[in-house]
Each structure stands twice: as structure tokens, then as C-alpha cells.
Structure 1
């Protein structure tokens, strides 16, 4: 899925993901996936950087019983890091949520340029 870098893209990504993933009957918690996807798309929209017009790209695939989800944006991979917000901060917990909910996650250069953040859920499908 390709999204405009606007706040409206976050609920659009959730609707798209739910529609496509549920027909594949995962045993993982789809709501947890939606939380992680929302956080990563929000970060991509908020922190993606480009002098040119750009989009956020979301893709997912299955490897055996694992679910892998990528969120791409034109930002720099080195700028993606987990923050330690104070109790008063109202933002900055997105990657902490991904860290808790995902079995694995990573940040690196996107093959499309910019950054890709990936989360993985092992045993997302019964084998």
C-alpha cells in the first residue's frame, strides 16, 4: 500500500491491513498488529523527510508461520530510535509498543530509498 504522508493515512493503513490479513486467518492478535502498524505509519508520516514529493509504503508478507510487516519512508535510518519519554510526555512511546508486541523488529535502509522499519510476529499462523 502506498500512502500520502498525512494523518489520514494512519486509519487508512489500519483498514487496508485488517481487510487483507483477516482473509488469511492468522492466529496472532490482529489488534496488536494494528497498534504496531499505526505507530510505525504515524512515525513515518511525522518524521519522513524529503525535498521532493514522497509517500509512505506499507507491505506485508508471510514466511512460513511468521508475519513480516514493513513501513518505508524517505527518512534516515539513523534517526529512528527508541525514546525514553518522561511521565509527562504525551508522545514518544511508539517504538516501545512495537518492542513489547513484536517478536522481532528492525530498522534499516529501504530498498526504495530512505528507511524501512520492520516488525515480525512468529507463529502468526497455525502450521
Structure 2
């Protein structure tokens, strides 16, 4: 696992857009993103752990809500892509890619472990400039669908 881009897209498979949602940057958006992904996953017959995906989405949306910054009104956008047999999830926010980093949360801190969880559960992840402006943090699950 790493924070360097190079997930399944390096395999030559074209990404296929399969869904998205736009959320307000408020704490209530985190459970909404979890519920929406579970509904999304049902008809797509994922063979990977939906619970792991939900946890990673939850962590990335939480980070977007907590750390996204903009001078004007903004939204968090979550997108789902199929890349061959892999699932890629992108979470866009108006923050800066250089500020995305893993930290070591202290035992008594409520925050600080999100990217460590993503790093442990995803096959790969990255933080890059978003085509919407700001940052996109993405994770890949390599074997999300049957070959």
C-alpha cells in the first residue's frame, strides 16, 4: 500500500464511471455516504469486502468534511469507478493535496487514524489535485469483481 498513484489504471484497463454522490461538508454526510455506498454495492455484485469499502469511504469523507477549505460554498464529491476487476473510489474536496498525509493519532485522540486505515485496507491509495479544483483522495480495491 502506498500514497503513490499507480493503482489498477497502470494495467491498461479504462476506468468506467459507475456512480457518484455530492454531499454537504457536514458531519451528517458521513453516514449518508455509508448508506449510499451499501445501496450502490448491492446490484454491482462486488466480491470484495463492502464493509471495508464503507469504512474507507467513511474515513475519507470525514477527512474531507474536517479538513476541506474554501472561501465560498463547497461540496464533497464521491465517485465510483470500475477499472478492469478493480474498484476505485475518489473523494474530492477543496483542500490542498500537499496537506494530505498520514499521521500517528495518539491513543486519546478521536481523530488521526483515517489514512492509516485506508492504507491498511486498500490495495493502493493516492492524493492528487482534483479536476474540480482542490484535492482528490482515491483508493483502489484490486479484486472487487470476479474476473
TM-score band w.r.t. shorter chain: over 0.9
Moved over 3 A (4+): none
Normalising by structure 1, report the TM-score: 0.98
TM superposition score normalised by structure 2: 0.85
Q: Distance in 1 between matches of 2:106 and 2:78?
A: 30
Which string of whole-angstrom CA distances, capped at 9 and with x for unpartnered residues, describes residues 7-61 of structure 1?
Answer: 0100111111111122110100000000000000000000000000000000001
- When the two structures are aligned, how many residues end up with a matched partner? 127
Give 1:100-111 correspondences, 5 Å limit.
Answer: 100-111=120-131
How far apart are 1:87 and its partner, in Å?
Answer: 2.3
Instruction: Please state if 1:24 is matched with 2:44.
Output: yes
Give me the whole-angstrom Cα distance separating, in 1, the residues matched to 2:93 and 2:102.
17
Among 79, 95, 101, the residue aligned to 1:59: 79
Gaps of 5+ in 2: 1-20
Q: Using the alignment, how far apart are the partners of 1:124 and 1:84 within structure 2?
A: 29
**Secondary structure in structure 1 of the residue aligned to 2:77:** strand
